[in-house]
Chains A and B, each alone.
Chain A
C-alpha cells in the first residue's frame, strides 16, 4: 500500500455538499455493525466516514452507491452523525462534479424522471390510466382528500393493484377524494438521496406549486417515501401540507366508524416495517392495528421488526440499481417470513412490494407466500 496524504480540498467539498456532520464521527463502527449490507457483503460504513474526514474517498468505488438509506446506522450512531446525509453528499460530489461515473441504470432512471416525471419513462398522460374504470375524479379545490399514489402504483402494472385497492376503499368509506392525474410528478425522495439535488428541487417545486394552486390540504399517500418528502422535506421549500400515510388514514376512518371490515381473511400475516414509515418516521403501530382489525387474520412478527426492521434494499435509489443475486436483503426477509410459516408478507410501501415480489419469484416460492399491500388486504376484507 502506498502512503496516503489527507486531502483537505476534497474534505471541504464533501462538507459543502452537506457532509459537515462527518466531523463528529469518532470511528466506533456501530454503523458498520448496524448496516444490513454486512449480512450479505462487506460494507465498512465507518471507513467511508473516515475517508470523508480525510478527503481520501474513492469516488470510483461502488461503495458510494450501496447505502439504501434505511436509517439503521443513523438511529444508533452515538455521535449523532447523519450518515445518510454523508452518503448523499458523496453522491452529489460524483453527480455534480463528475469526478466518477454514476451507475448506468441509475443515470437512466434519473433521466426518465427528469424528462417525464416518473422513473419508468412512461408518458405523462398515462399516469391516471390505473383509475380509468374506477370513476376517480380529478382533485379540485374544496375536495376533502388528495390521494397521491406514487409513480410505481400508478405506472407499474404489477403494483397498480395497490392504487386500485386504495381508491376502492376510499369510495366504499364515502371519502370525498381526488387525484392529480397527469399533473403529478415523482416526489423526488429517492432522486435526492441518489445525489441529484437539481432534479429533486425541480420536482419538488412543481409538486408544491400544483398542490398549492389546487388548494390541497390533506394528502394521503401510499408510499412512505412520498410521506417522508411531503412531511419532512417540502416544508423547507415552502410546501406545508397535512400528510398521512394510507395506513394512518385507514385507522382514522375505521375508528370513526366509516369503514367496517366484515370478511374474514384466514391467513398468517407477517408485517414488514418499511424503513421510511418506521425508522424514518416512527410509524409502527397503525399498520399493525389495521391488520389486526381484519377478522380471522393472524399477525406474526418477523425476527427483525419495528425499529430493527430489515430493509428491503430499495431505498436511496437502490431500487433502480442492480443488486447481485445473493446480496438481496429481500431474499433474507422472505426466508424469515417462510420460517414463520406466514402465508402473506404484508407491506406498506411500493418499493418493498417490488423487491419482495422479485425475491419470491427468483426463489420460486410463489405457491407458499404472497406479498400483499395492506390496502389490498383491507379491500378484500370489505
Chain B
C-alpha cells in the first residue's frame, strides 16, 4: 500500500431503491471533487458479483488503498465489501459505508434534498476513511458448551439435538419440571395425538442424557462475555429434597396436609405443599413450596420428613450458585397466557363456566382434575358450549397480533366436545386461519362433525336472560356478520381462546441476555425472513414461542434450526471477534482505575507494576464505554479514533 490515501468511491443505485430518489450521477460527480478521491463510479447493484468485481479491479489497476461504498446499511453488506477488499489484497478495514438508503432515500421524498443529504453522508465517509488504519481480525476459541433457557418443547428439542451430536448442554428451567405448556395440553392438532404421549419420551431422554445437565427449579442471574465465551451465573433454588436420595416414591406428597391450587392444572385442581407438578415430571424429585409449607410458615409439621424412608427431606438445604462457561445460548422461554378479566363484558371471573382455553385443556385431559370429564362448576355435563376466538388477540386494546394457534385448537375443542359429550358447539370466529400442513383438512373434518360456525366477534357474555329459554344460561351475544343479524345463543359453557403473550418477565430476561424485543414484546429475531432464529446479539438464539406465538411443528422446526446453528459454531472451534478494541496510552494513564468498573465485559485490569490500566484484547468488544469514561483521555478505540470521528463530522458539515 502506498502511503498517500487513494480513495475509490462507489455509489450504488440499489435498483430504484436509491436511484429513484437520489441523483446518483450528481453524487458521483460530487465525490470526484473530494480530496484524495482517485476515482468515483456508480452502478446498479454494487453488492452483485459484477459490482464487487469493479471494486476488485480498480484496487488492482488503479492502486486504490481506501474504499467508500455509498449504499445500504452497513449491517447488510459491510461484511461483503470487507471481503472484497481482502480478495483484492488490501486490509478489509480500509472501507467505510455511507448509508444512503435507510438513512436517506427511504426516508426522504424530495429528490433534491435527498441528493444533498447523500452528498453529505458520502463526504463524511470519505473524510473518515482517510484516517482508517489496517486492523487484524482476532479469533478466539469457542467454548463448546451450550446454555438452553426454558424447558418447554422448544428447549427440550434444541437440547436433545445438540446433545445427540455429543456436545454439552445445560438446560435451565425455572419450574420444578420441564415440559412447558405442551405437557398441559390434552390432544394436539391437527393429528390429535396425545400430547404427553409424544412429549414424555423426550422429557425422559433429557433427564437421562449423558450430555445434558438439567438445572430445574433454577434461574439465570448473570450473563457476561460474548459469543463463544459467555459466563453465566445460575441460581439453583433449594428444593429441600435431596435429589440423590429421593427415589420419587411420592409418599411425602400423599401425607402432606396442605393443599393449594395446582399451577399445572390451571388452578382447577389442587396440589400439596411438597409436590411434583405432575406424575411424569422430569426430574421426579419433589420441591417444598415454602410459601405454603406449614413448617416454613409456622415452624411446625415436618410430616414429610417423618414419612420419607430414604431421609431425603432436608429443611436446611440452601440455594446453590452455579457458574458456567458457555459458547452459545438458546432462549426458549416460551409464552404466557392472556388474563381475560379486563374484558369485563366476557364475565371471566364473574360468571361461572366462563373458562379460558388453558383451563379447558386441563378439564379435558385424562390427567386433569376431572379425569378428562368435561364438567360445569356444579359437576353436570354441558349440553352446549360456545368457543370464543381472538380473546385478547387481533385486538388493539390488548394484543394486535394474531396468536396463530387459537383457530386450530378451537377446532380441536369442537371435536373433543362432540366426541365426549355430543354437545352443541358454537365457534365464534373473525377469520379461520388454518394455514399449516393438514390444517385445512382438519377444518373440513371438524365442519363435517356438525360444529356451528358463527362469523362474528362476541360482544358480550351475559347471564341476564331476556326469554325463558335463556334463564339460567350464559347468553353469548354476537353479530352473525354473514347474515347481518344480531344473535343471542344460550349455552352452558363458554371457552375463551386467550392470546399467547410474552411471559411477564420478558423485559427483565431480555435485559439480562442483552437481546431486543419487538413491539409485541416477544424477543426479536435478527431478520424476520433470513435469520429467524438468531437475535441481535451474536451467539444468542431464540426459538419457539419466546420469539412469537406459534404451534408445536413450527416450534420444533425452530429448535432444530438453532441447534444446527450452534453445532456449526462449535465445529468451527473458534470465532472471529471485533477487530476494533480499546487501547490505553500508558504514558497518559494516571492509574485512577475508573475505567475498570465501567467495562461491561470485564476486559480491563490493572498492571500493578506499571500502575496503569490494561485492556485484554480478547475480552474487549470495542464498545467504547471506557473511552468516554477516562478522565485523562488516555484510552482510544481503534477504528473509532477521535481523528476519524472528527473528520467524519467535518465531512458531514462541509
CA–CA, A29 and B460, complex, Å: 12
Chain B contacts of A42 at CB under 8 A? 485-486
A28–B344 touching, CB < 8 Å? no
Q: Contact check: which of B457, B464, B484, B485 meets A28 at CB < 8 Å?
A: B457
Chain B residues bordering chain A, tally (CB within 8 A): 24
The answer to whether A78 and B459 touch across the interface, beta carbons within 8 angstroms, is no
Q: Assuming A29-B456, A78-B394, what are 17 further A-B pairs, CB within 8 angstroms? A: A28-B390, A28-B430, A28-B456, A29-B459, A29-B478, A30-B458, A31-B459, A32-B456, A32-B481, A32-B486, A33-B477, A33-B479, A34-B345, A42-B485, A44-B485, A46-B481, A78-B395
B455 cross-chain contacts in A, Cβ below 8 A: 29
Given the complex, which residues of A lie within 8 Å of B478, measured CB to CB?
29, 33
Partner of B396, one of A47, A78, A303: A78
Q: How far is the CA of A133 from the CA of B431 in the complex (A)?
A: 64
Chain B 445-482, CB within 8 Å of chain A: the 1/0 string?
00000000001111110001000000000000111110
A218-241 contact mask (Cβ, 8 Å, vs B): 1 or 0:
000000000000000000000000
* Chain A positions within 8 Å of B457 at CB level: 28-30, 33, 78
- Whether A33 lies near B460 (C-beta < 8 A) is yes
Tell me which residues from 315 to 348 in chain A have a Cβ below 8 Å from any Cβ of chain B.
none
**Contact in complex: B479, A29 (CB < 8 Å):** yes
What separation, in Å, do the CA atoms of A354 and B390 have in the docked complex? Answer: 40
A33 CB, nearest partner CB in chain B, Å: 2
Q: A28-B430, A29-B479 are in contact. Are A303 and B464 (CB under 8 A)?
A: yes
Query: 8 Å CB contacts to B: which residues of A50-94?
Result: 75-80
In the complex, 22 of the A-B residue pairs with CB atoms within 8 angstroms, ordered by the A residue number, are A28-B390, A28-B456, A28-B457, A28-B481, A29-B459, A30-B459, A32-B459, A32-B479, A33-B458, A34-B459, A42-B486, A44-B485, A46-B481, A46-B484, A76-B459, A78-B390, A78-B394, A78-B396, A79-B396, A80-B397, A303-B464, A306-B344
Set B344, B394, B395, B459: member contacting A307, Cβ < 8 A: B344
The answer to whether A44 and B484 have CB atoms under 8 Å apart is: yes
**A42 CB to nearest B CB, Å:** 7
**What are the residues of chain A within 8 A of B396 when measuring CB–CB?**
77-80
B431's nearest neighbour on chain A, judged by CB, is A26
Query: CA of A331 to CA of B477 in the docked complex: distance in angstroms?
Result: 21
For the complex, is A292 an interface residue (Cβ under 8 Å from B)? no
| Docked pose: A26 CA to B429 CA in angstroms | 12
- CB closest chain-A residue, reference B466: A39
Decide if A308 touches B344 in the complex (CB within 8 Å): yes
- Please provide the chain A residues from 135 to 176 with a CB less than 8 Å away from any CB of chain B in the complex: none
How large, as a class, is the contact surface on chain A?
20 to 34
> For the complex, is A266 an interface residue (Cβ under 8 Å from B)?
no
* A38 CB within 8 Å of chain B: yes
Structural contact, B344 and A76, CB atoms closer than 8 A: no
User: Is A27 an interface residue, CB under 8 A from the partner?
Assistant: yes
Grouping DSSP codes into helix (H, G, I), strand (E, B) and loop, the B interface class, with mixed when no group exceeds half, is: mixed
10 closest A-B pairs by CB: A33-B459, A29-B479, A78-B395, A32-B479, A29-B456, A28-B457, A80-B396, A29-B481, A30-B457, A38-B486
> Which residues of A are found within 8 Å of B458, using beta-carbon distances?
30, 33
Interface residues of A (CB under 8 A from B): 26-34, 38, 42, 44, 46-47, 75-80, 303, 306-308
Contact indicator A76/B477 (Cβ below 8 Å):
no
In the assembled complex, the CB of B537 is this many whole angstroms from the nearest CB of chain A, namely 34
Residue numbers in B under 8 Å from A28 (CB-CB)? 390, 430, 456-457, 481
- B464: chain A residues at CB < 8 Å are 303
Residues of A close to B344: CB separation below 8 A: 306-308
A75 to B477, CA, bound (A): 17
Within 8 A of A (CB), among B380-396: 390, 394-396
A31–B394 Cα distance when bound, in Å, is 15
Chain A residues near B390 (CB-CB < 8 A): 28, 78
Inter-chain CA distance A77–B398, complex, in Å, is 11
Nearest CB on B from A133, distance (A): 46
Which residues of B lie under 8 Å from residue A27 when comparing CB positions? 430, 481
Kindly state the separation between the CA atoms of A75 and B395 in the bound complex, as whole angstroms. Answer: 11
User: Given A76-B397, A307-B344, A308-B345, do A33 and B456 touch, yes or no (CB 8 Å)?
Assistant: yes
Q: How far is the CB of B478 from chain A (nearest CB, A)?
A: 5
Which A residues touch B484, using CB under 8 A?
44, 46-47
Bound CA–CA A46/B482 (angstroms): 11
Residue on A nearest B392 in the bound complex, by CB: A78
Distance between B309 CB and nearest chain A CB, rounded to angstroms: 58
In whole angstroms, how far apart are the Cα atoms of A190 and B548 in the complex?
45
On chain B, the residues within 8 Å of A34 by CB distance are 345, 459-460
